[in-house]
Amino acid sequence: MKKAPIKLKDLLITESMSVYIKGFDYSKRLDNLLDVIHALLYPVLDKVFETLPADQKAYFQKNRVPEIFAPDGNDYDKPTGTINFYTSGFVKAASLKILRGMLRLLKMKGFVVGPLKGEMSGMYKSQVIRIPITKNPFIDYKGPPEINWAGRNAFHVFKELLGIDPDDSSGSSFHFTPQEIIQRIEMLRKHDPGWVKKSAIPPKTWIAKPPTEPGDEWKEEPKEPSENPYDDIAYKVLGGLGGAKHIDLGLPEETLWRKIGELEELAKWAVEHGFTEMYVT
């Protein structure tokens, strides 16, 4: 039987999750770097990836890092700033083809891009091309507030803190009504504020172990699976960077209160504008 071709979307790990209002048209939103990445850059990458020979797709699958594009630092919700393109897994010709396609599309849309900078990433074992967006023509946005959280944090807030079950066993999506979110948050504030404190995750520092060689699985120390599937994903991915020290900042109580405040604001916006469903993916 002939194997199905490798698709880029099947290889990507969900590093973050966003909260959306069903029925609102997000397709025209380009006022922040995160939406620029998903609306413009990934479609270019998808097209180039489909043209790559099978051996290059397999090479990418083996050598990729968790993120391909990411806003630098805290620039994800800003209209301008730097976008990082992590090229590990792509041969030079493919990286250049992706980069040229992205720059061409950004220029066509009216973005102004400053001088590019290539260097070794301080976060991943990868070359990174830093793409500075110095002008964004799409700055007049009047839609709902944007929420984009790390997948692990989103799962913790919705499942562990608010008690909303995910749509599937992988914990990759949730759906609910805005009224449900508002009611659950009001219940926490009025009747069980201590639950937020109990749900906080303390920070920790740990050393990632390299993947076990085939046949040596018996040497592994037993590890209980986490209730949060994103903890297990991070453990496996970071294990590929064996020996490196990783710092988990955790989720302090004040951070959890801030996140549910953001969620409440979005839910109230949905109610005020006549929307009845929300979802996370």
Integer angstrom CA distances of residue 277 from 26, 154, 262, 266, 272: 15, 18, 17, 12, 13
Domain parsing of the chain, residue ranges = 25-135, 147-200+251-280, 204-248
Q: Which of 15-29, 128-142, 194-208 has the highest mean pLDDT?
A: 128-142
Q: Once rounded to an integer, what is the mean pLDDT over residues 245-268? A: 89
Q: Which of 42-56, 219-233, 242-256 has the lowest mean pLDDT?
A: 219-233
Q: Which of 140-144, 220-224, 254-258 has the lowest mean pLDDT?
A: 220-224
What pLDDT is stored for residue 231 in this prediction? 65
Q: How many CB atoms lie within 10 A of CB 84?
A: 21
What pLDDT is stored for residue 204 in this prediction? 75
What pLDDT is stored for residue 170 in this prediction? 74
What pLDDT is stored for residue 146 in this prediction? 86
Question: Tokens representing 51?
Answer: 């043209």
- Residue 147 pLDDT grade (very low, low, confident, very high; cuts 50, 70, 90): very high
- Residue 230 pLDDT grade (very low, low, confident, very high; cuts 50, 70, 90): low
Query: What is the rounded distance in angstroms from the CA atom of residue 55 to the CA atom of residue 16?
Result: 29
Q: Which residues pair with 133 in a beta bridge?
A: 81, 113
Q: Which of 101-110, 127-136, 246-255 has the lowest mean pLDDT?
A: 246-255
What pLDDT is stored for residue 212 in this prediction? 58
Question: Tokens representing 255?
Answer: 């951070």
pTM of the full predicted structure?
Answer: 0.61
Q: Once rounded to an integer, what is the mean pLDDT over residues 269-275? A: 97
Query: In the chain, pLDDT over 70 holds for what percent of residues?
Result: 79
- Residue 71 pLDDT grade (very low, low, confident, very high; cuts 50, 70, 90): very high
What pLDDT is stored for residue 92 in this prediction? 95
Digit-coded pLDDT (tens) for 21-51: 999 988 778 999 999 998 999 999 999 999 9
Taking alpha carbons only, the member of 26, 18, 97, 33 closest to residue 262 is 18
> Is the model's pLDDT at 240 over the cut of 80?
no
What pLDDT is stored for residue 220 in this prediction? 53
Question: Tokens representing 161?
Answer: 């803190």
Q: Once rounded to an integer, what is the mean pLDDT over residues 226-234? A: 62
> Is the model's pLDDT at 1 over the cut of 50?
no
- For the chain, give the secondary structure using H, E and C: CCCCCCCHHHHCCCCEEEEEECCCCCCCCCCCHHHHHHHHHHHHHHHHHHHCCHHHHHHHHHHCCCCCEEECCCHHHCCCEEEEEECCCCCHHHHHHHHHHHHHHHHHCCCEECCCEEEECCCCCCEEEEEEEEECCCCCCCCCCCEEEEHHHHHHHHHHHCCCCCCCCCCCCEEECHHHHHHHHHHHHHHCCHHHHHCCECCEEEECCCCCCCCCHHHCCCCCCCCCHHHHHHHHHHHCCCCCEEEECCECHHHHHHHHHHHHHHHHHHHHCCCCCEEEC
